Amino acid sequence: MRTDRLVAVLLLLQRRGRVTAAEVARELEVSERTARRDLDALATAGVPVYSTQGRGGGWRLVGGARTDLSGLTAGEVRALFLVAGPASAATPTVKAALRKLVQALPEPFRAQAEATASSLVKDPQAWGSGPVGHRPPRFLDALQDAVIHGVQVRLRYVDREGAETGRTVHPLGIVAKGPSWYLVAHTEAGRRTFRIDRVSSADPTGDPVHRPEDFDLAERWREIADEIDRRRTPLEVQAVCAPHGVSVLRMAFGGRLQVGGSAPDGRVEVVIRGHDEYMLAGELAGLVDQVEVTGPPGVRDRLAAIGGTLVERYG
């Protein structure tokens, strides 16, 4: 970790020209004593830094020397934020490190990294079972460039029936949903979402995107995901669960679980969404120690039938 800090200190010196130990401590969230030790370590290692005392004092690079230890190209900066940017599921430690890195990056990378971060939402919960990961779709970079630079795109798109259509879209943001990537865009027919692996061509027109001032990508994606989830899982099951079993249900059902308040007997009220009574009863049958279904009657009847079959077979 200290090597990472020393690199961050050097990049900070390059960007600002002069820093004090207090400024380094504040930027890197360490003590002033640690910051002074790091600055001394840079000088000892041969990095051309020197300190001055009094008003206007601090640490500087000799002759404005620059050493680009980041080694990052513009594309690599974008990839970094695609993988673990502020909108992703990265840990708080990783996010904090990235925030410090982007503050220390030279222009124009810093502006592009910030634009990349705001143009992306990562939703780690996949729609269902499927491949955990694969190569990014062919036109991902081109579409994100269009989002970042605010230009319209002439898009050719193949729908789930295999029909290909063409349209001009206003790209507003990119979403990674599990292993799948989506473009959220405005079209003549209103706001639409496109699976990027179904895009067959993407040509920027150069015309500016008309972006609503109140548009929030994360908020809009929550609305889209909720709507799709409701279509995919139209059946709702009401149940009560022992408090210690809620974590088990979260692992089993993910975003299909909605946790409510406490029932009169101290158990927790929950709602679980599913595709149909047969499939949902099958999922719930193995969780009888944690959950009791209260409705609808069809699911309870199906669970009773499963129980009868199990007793008859394994009695």
154: left (phi over 0), alpha (psi -120 to 50) or beta: beta
Give the model confidence (pLDDT) of 130-174 as tens digits: 444 456 788 988 898 888 888 999 999 999 889 999 999 999 988
199: left (phi over 0), alpha (psi -120 to 50) or beta: beta
Overall pTM > 0.75 = no
pLDDT for 204? 94
Backbone angles phi, psi at 212, to 5 degrees: -60, 140
Backbone angles phi, psi at 150, to 5 degrees: 65, 45
pLDDT at residue 72 greater than cutoff 90: no
Q: Identify whether the C-beta of residue 263 lies closer than 8 Å to the C-beta of residue 240.
A: yes
Closest CA to 177 of 216, 120, 215, 135: 120
pLDDT at residue 268 greater than cutoff 70: yes
Residue with tokens 């002033």: 32
